[in-house]
A and B are shown apart, each in its own frame.
Chain A
Amino acid sequence: MRSPTHALLWEIWQRNRSVSAVIVALTIVGRLLEPSSLVVMLWMVSFLLLFGIFTHPISPRLFTLPVSSLRLVAVPLLTGIASIEVLNVMWFGRLVTGPTSTWFVAVLLGALMVFYQTALWMLERTGPLKFVFVGVMAVIVFAIGLVPSFPPTPPPWWRSEAAVAALVAGLTAMVFLVASRHVGRVRCGGGSTAPRLEPLFAFAAARLPRTRKAFASPAAAHFWFEWRCSGLVLPVLVAGVLLAVIAPQSWLARDAGGTSFQLLLGALATPIVLAIPVGMAFARPAFWSEDLSLPAFVAVRPMTNEDIVAAKIKVAAASVAISWLLVLSFLAVWLLGWANLDGVGRFAIQVWAFHGQSAAAVYGIAVLVVVGGMFLTWRFLVSRLCGGLSGSRVLFNVSVMSVVIAAIAWMVFDGTRLAGWILDDPARMTALAWILAIAVTAKYWLAAYSWRRVPARYVRQFLLVWGAWTACLLAVAILFWGVVRIYVALDVHRFQAVMILMALLALPAGRVGLAASCLERNRHR
């Protein structure tokens, strides 16, 4: 190596050669195809992969090199900026960017890369939750990009592209210096000033009542252990969103009936949506660790793999119960306190009228929706256990990436139109019903196979829960088709079949059963 900079660049390149090749391949395919939703998706995936390259923290190993902190920070940041600008140029002309100038987009992308890497370095100790912060930051940068296009046109000078670009560039330079100072401090043993969520959760858990009584059983002890490691994360996040996002908005929109209804839906969706990223970390053997191997501290305990999985599943259930209790408590205070109930009331009256003017039906549906939401939250917490507990990085990444790609595809191809496209044609409905039927058959075969070695007591417990939840989802499905058929002319029988099959598919059975076998591979390598 001719210089330390070359050595640092070489390390980045060596670590990411295969990802770089995939990005180039996606870009070439994107340039060859006609502009379409698929091209947009390829564009998004290639940029996401590029950000993935610059996800790595600055290793403490590098701190011992005779290189200044500024250079340690500058090499990945400047390489990131150069890479994203090159990729932007390679995709130039393939996407409609509207009235936004190309140079303005370039400035925003460069800034985003600097913000992204700096945030990851400074929030390293927050574990997977750092990506939630990064996502929020990306949304803010995107929103800044829209500022010059707000009416009136042309915008005043302080909202022009040049002014906003100058502001962003100045902010980027400041963030660059902050990153350098942070690395310098960490290097000198000064530690991080970033918020550390793990101690925060530990602090919250430590404030809960303590008992010095012995645990009744190994299962109770391990439940407590799992709960203290990860149980409070979802409730704390749900409480945070309710207090920091929903509550202020509900106060500001206390006179708007329509907004209240949207906020009600938002509050109900909060635990479900948050369970998706939390579930990715929850699936790992140790919530706060990137390492997928089962910690030796747990692995040498005299308990079966099924006991370990059961403790996780029970902690997930307790976590969901507390999260929903928080949601319901908030809704009770808000709806009875300062909410404008016009929008909510109109919907309730429609439901009431629909179901023979029965108030019991309205309350029954509300209960079903809440219970169904709880089940879905739990589902997202435990459905990835198989991949996480296996200890296989490939399996886990595939499991996580499938969610990310599905979300991107949903956005790019406008998933909301999918339902209409299927419902419009009976042939498509038939095909979908057959696909779902095959999926249900496969699911139950897998469940029967995966649960064959699980102790009978766990099978009984899970079957009880699974039966209750599936019955609840079936009831929701029946109510849903009863409503939809009023508005949409469709083949009711096929639609019924589709809804029932989807309800049967909603809750994981085979994957949960397989989790113990996957853990066995991890525990006995």
Chain B
Amino acid sequence: MRERHGADEASAEPLVSVASLSRTFGSKKALDDVTLAVSRGCVFGLVGENGAGKSTLIKHLLGLWRAERGEVRVFGLDPVLEPTTVLGRIGYLSEQPDLPGWMRVDELLRYTRAFYPRWDTAYATQLLEQFGLDLDARVKTLSKGQRARLGLIAAEAHRPDLLILDEPSSGLDPIVRRDILEAIIRTITDEGRTVIFSSHLLDEVERVSDHVAMLHQGTLKLCAPLDDIKAQHRRIVLRFTVPHADPPNVPGAIRVEGAGREWTVICDGSRIHVPAMAQSLGASIVDDCAASLDEIFVAHAAVN
């Protein structure tokens, strides 16, 4: 039976809850009234363009930033007031792992291990062998990909209840990205463990996430199970008999783009009856399919 910690497991509360969180940097709103919840055992993808507020949100979850307005709870606790308890159950890997260059690989793992009573040495050794890291190598001599892998071992080897990956695959080659995705899959195969995964590589998020939140300029545009989001959004290609200079006015459309006779519409499929809509516009339907996460993201980002 898994060890039990804190108040969160005794209740049905979400593992992470963020309520009306706002943060400003000078005149810029980095987060604006963000509310979301992450339930236990899910892979929560956090997507958004650069500067959308993903890292800011993650830093609030880690307690590195204090909520200016609103509330953050992780395992039912405030990460600012209870950093030891909260951080002891989190594994964290950022885009730039920020590992001290003077440390050797074994020193880094020994240092990290001291903070986590649940450190799994056999698992760490297995990952080390899998990634081909030399225990005596200094961190500063490792390539970017090797550093990411080392950071991943340090974040994962204590089998955290919550694994937070902040754009971990940014700038990395496909092989390292594959390792990171496998780590996510490994983590969720351990019953009850949760992953929060931020990225702007939407194909990755689409592959592993089962819940997606989309941030745009600090505002939460979408937060729902991935399947619901994909089922909700349709990509429809319309062909008109006469060319249009301006985008046609499609009721319920989130984004319309194209030129001349052929226009592509991203819309909320649950609210639109597509054949009726096409008929009312005097257009024929060339294609009607589920929109990809990439198209959904671009459509919502373009609304503003």
Q: Does B102 contact A (CB under 8 A)?
A: yes
Given that A297-B99, A303-B84 are known contacts, is A224 also in contact with B111, CB under 8 Å in the complex?
A: yes
Contacts A297-B98, A524-B65: A212 and B115 contacting too (C-beta < 8 A)? no
Q: Which chain A residues border B103 with CB–CB below 8 Å?
A: 228
Q: Please state if A302 and B111 are interface contacts (CB–CB under 8 Å).
A: no
Of B64, B86, B98, B114, the contact of A220 (CB 8 Å cutoff): B114
Query: A201: nearest residue on chain B (CB-CB)?
Result: B102
Chain A: residues with Cβ within 8 Å of the partner, total of 29
Closest residue of chain B to A216 (Cβ to Cβ) is: B114
B197 interface residue per 8 A CB criterion: no
Residue in contact with A300 in the complex, picked from B80, B90, B102, B114, CB distance below 8 Å: B90
Contact with A along B4-45 (1 / 0, CB 8 A): 000000000000000000000000000000000000000000
Interface string of A477-491 (1 = CB under 8 A from B): 000000000000000
Whether the pair B85, A228 counts as a contact (CB closer than 8 A) is: no
Min Cβ gap B150→A in Å is 12
Interface mask (A294-313 → B, CB under 8 Å = 1, otherwise 0): 01110111111100000000
Would A214 and B110 be within 8 Å (CB), given that A302-B115, A303-B115 are in contact?
yes
Interface centre among A212, A295, A301, A524 (most CB of B within 10 A): A524
Interface of A is mostly: helix
Closest chain A CB from B16 CB (angstroms): 16
Contact B64 A524 (CB under 8 A): yes
List, in ascending order, chain B residues with CB within 8 A of A212's CB: 106, 110
What's the minimum C-beta distance from A209 to chain B, rounded to whole angstroms? 13
Asked whether any CB of chain A lies closer than 8 Å to the CB of B171, the reply is no
Bound-state CA distance A305–B64 (Å) is 12
Asked if A215 contacts B110 (CB within 8 A), the reply is: yes
Q: Contacts A302-B83, A302-B85, A524-B80; is A214 near B100 (CB within 8 Å)? A: no
**Considering the complex, which residues of chain B in the window 82-140 have a beta carbon less than 8 Å from any beta carbon of chain A?**
83-88, 90, 92, 94, 97-100, 102-103, 106, 110-111, 113-116
CA distance A525 to B30 in the complex (A): 14
Bound together, the chains give a CA A295 to CA B102 distance in angstroms of 15
Shortest distance from the beta carbon of B233 to any chain A beta carbon, whole Å: 35
Considering only residues 283-329 of chain A, those with a C-beta below 8 Å from chain B are: 295-297, 299-305
Asked if B66 lies at the interface with its beta carbon under 8 angstroms from chain A, I say: yes
Q: In the complex, are the beta carbons of B84 and A221 less than 8 A apart? A: no
Which residues on B sit within 8 Å (CB–CB) of A295? 98
Given the complex, which residues of B lie within 8 Å of A301, measured CB to CB?
87, 115
Q: Give the residues in chain A near B94, CB-CB below 8 Å.
A: 296
The answer to the question of B237 belonging to the interface, with a C-beta cut-off of 8 Å to chain A, is: no
B111, A225: Cβ atoms under 8 Å? Answer: yes
The minimal Cβ–Cβ distance linking B138 to chain A, given in whole angstroms, is 9
B66 touches A525 (CB 8 A): yes
Which residue of the partner chain B has the closest CB to A219?
B114
Q: Main SS of the interface on chain B?
A: loop
Q: Within residues 55 to 96 of chain B, which ones have a CB less than 8 A from any CB in chain A?
A: 62-66, 80, 83-88, 90, 92, 94
The reply on A218 being an interface residue by CB < 8 A is yes
Q: Which A residues touch B100, using CB under 8 A?
A: 225, 229, 297
Size class of the contact patch on chain B: 20 to 34
Look across to chain B and name the residue whose beta carbon is closest to the beta carbon of A307: B84
CB pair B65–A215 under 8 Å, yes or no, is: no
A217 at the interface (CB under 8 A from B): yes
Q: Are B66 and A300 in contact (CB under 8 A)?
A: no
Q: Do A524 and B63 have beta carbons less than 8 Å apart?
A: yes
- Residues of chain A within 8 A of B115, CB atoms compared: 218, 221, 301-303
Tell me which residues across on chain B come within 8 A of A304, comparing CB atoms. Answer: 83-84
- Which B-chain residue is minimally distant from A198 (CB atoms)? B102
A25 contacts B by Cβ under 8 Å:
no
- Check if A159 is an interface residue, CB within 8 A of chain B: no
Given contacts A202-B102, A302-B85, contact A525 B64 (CB under 8 A): yes
Could you tell me the distance in whole angstroms from the C-beta of A210 to the nearest C-beta in chain B? 8
Instruction: Tell me whether A221 and B87 are in contact (CB under 8 A).
Output: no
CB distance from A54 to the nearest CB of B (A): 29
Question: Do the beta carbons of A302 and B64 come within 8 Å of each other?
Answer: no
Assess whether A300 is in contact with B111, with CB atoms less than 8 Å apart: no
Q: How far is the CB of B62 from chain A (nearest CB, A)?
A: 6
Asked whether, in the complex, the Cβ of A214 is within 8 Å of the Cβ of B83, the reply is no
Q: Given A218, A225, A297, A300, which contacts B62 in the complex, CB threshold below 8 Å?
A: A300
Q: Is the CB of A300 within 8 A of B110?
A: no
Nearest residue (CB) in A for B86 is: A302
Does A125 sit at the interface, judged by CB under 8 A? no
Q: Does A196 contact B (CB under 8 A)?
A: no
- Write the B175-188 contact mask toward A (1 if CB under 8 angstroms, else 0): 00000000000000
Q: Is A523 in the interface zone, CB < 8 Å from B?
A: yes
Task: Provide the bound-state CA to CA distance between A202 and B66, in Å.
Answer: 35
| Complexed CA–CA distance, A170 and B97 (Å) | 48
CB-contacts of A190-223 with B (<8 A): 198, 202, 205, 212, 214-218, 220-222
Contacting residues, chain B, for A198 (C-beta < 8 A): 102
User: How far is A524 from B86 in the complex, measured between Cα atoms in Å?
Assistant: 14
Q: Which residues of B contact A524 (CB under 8 A)?
A: 63-66, 80, 83
Nearest Cβ on chain A to B170's Cβ, whole angstroms: 15
A sample of 29 cross-chain residue pairs with beta-carbon separation below 8 angstroms, ordered by A number, consists of A198-B102, A205-B102, A212-B106, A215-B113, A217-B114, A218-B114, A218-B115, A220-B114, A221-B114, A222-B114, A228-B102, A229-B100, A296-B64, A296-B94, A296-B98, A297-B97, A297-B100, A300-B62, A300-B87, A301-B87, A302-B85, A302-B86, A302-B88, A302-B115, A303-B84, A304-B83, A304-B84, A305-B83, A524-B65
9 extra interface residue pairs, beta carbon distance < 8 Å, beyond A304-B83, A524-B83: A214-B114, A217-B114, A218-B115, A221-B114, A297-B99, A299-B64, A302-B86, A523-B83, A524-B64
Interface residues of B (CB under 8 A from A): 62-66, 80, 83-88, 90, 92, 94, 97-100, 102-103, 106, 110-111, 113-116
